[in-house]
Amino acid sequence: MAYEGARVKEAGEKSGFWENVRTIVYAVLIALFVRTFAYEPFNIPSGSMLPTLLVGDYLFVSKFSYGYSRHSLPLSLPLIPGRVLFSEPERGDVAVFKLPTDGKTDYIKRIIGLPGDEIQMRGGRLYINGTLVERTPIDPAQVDDGFGRMVRVPQYVETLPNGRQHLIFESSGDDGQFDNTRVFKVPPRHYFAMGDNRDNSLDSRASVGFIPVENLIGRAEFLFFSVDGSSSIWQVWNWPWAIRWNRIFTGVGP
């Protein structure tokens, strides 16, 4: 009887093991489905989108906002031709896309130019289709210069032609590296994107170039976590002091 009892116990252990394996597989498949077709998490490693996004922000991007391409899939598997279920980005969207020059690196910028638009910077001011974009100065922002010193940075509210407003930094005033450019004519099925930190952003004015519609990943929607750099995300014991509590579950608005 002891022998028979041991056999029953062993069978039960095997059954429990495969149940656990099945549960893990289901969980992974659900996570992959959500990440591919619904929301994907990203973190912000640089200050090119200041003051809208801070270094240490973690956010969700809606994958369904612009439809799907191969870059919507893990490892950019070439299983989706072109773009399907496409919805046009709106001017002012904060979008994540694959860098056109390598098709691998994830970038996040604001959509400024739509197909057919003419974009130019003249004297630090943005022109869209020959019309000067309105901006209104507000109080300068206090920003860490990277060496522990707080500096004042000129800050403006910029109003795009469709009425959407957002904050921009002009840390070098109106005479920065990309404050005077040629006219950029946005090709069909491409977009022109810029960082809100205008004098500290590599974007469509520089090496990034125009963004093909196939390279769009999704629209930034809301923050789910944010740390100020004094602690890594895995250092849970430091979270009470490092977390920017006021940014959690806030939207990435225009």
Of 218, 161, 217, 211, whose CA–CA distance to 188 is shortest? 211
Return the SS3 of 91.
coil
Chain centroid to Cα 216, Å, comes to: 10
Identify the active-site residue in 109, 171, 201, 204: 109
- The question of whether 63 is a catalytic residue gets the answer no
Contact between 205 and 186 (Cβ < 8 Å): no
Number of H helices, E strands in the chain: 2, 14
Contact between 154 and 138 (Cβ < 8 Å): no
- The question of whether 185 is a catalytic residue gets the answer no
Pairing of strands 57-62, 106-113: unpaired
Q: Find the helix or strand (DSSP H, E) in which 177 lies.
A: none
Of 195, 152, 158, 155, whose CA–CA distance to 177 is shortest? 195
Burial (CB < 10 A; 0-12, 13-18, 19+), residue 11, is exposed
Identify the active-site residue in 48, 171, 201, 204: 48
Of 252, 220, 223, 212, whose CA–CA distance to 71 is shortest? 212
* Residues with catalytic function: 48, 109
